[in-house]
Amino acid sequence: MYLKIENLKLIGQGCSKIVYQHPDDQNKIIKIMNPQRVSIHGGFKNHSKMKQRFAQGIYRHFRRELIQYLQLCKVNYQKNQFTFPVETPYGFIHTDQGLGLIAEKIVGPEEKSLTLEQLARTGQIQDKHLKALDEFFDACCDLHIVFAEVNIAGIMYTEHRNHKPEFVLVDGMGEKLFIPLRAMFKSINTRNVRKVEKDIKQKMRQMMEAPLASEQVFVQ
- Give CA–CA dist 5/22, Å, rounded: 11
Q: How confident is the model at residue 74 (pLDDT cuts 50, 70, 90)?
A: very high
Q: Is the pTM of this model over 0.85?
A: yes
To the nearest whole percent, how much of the chain has pLDDT over 90? Answer: 74
pLDDT digits (tens, 9 = 90+) for 102-139: 999 999 998 889 999 999 999 999 999 999 999 999 99
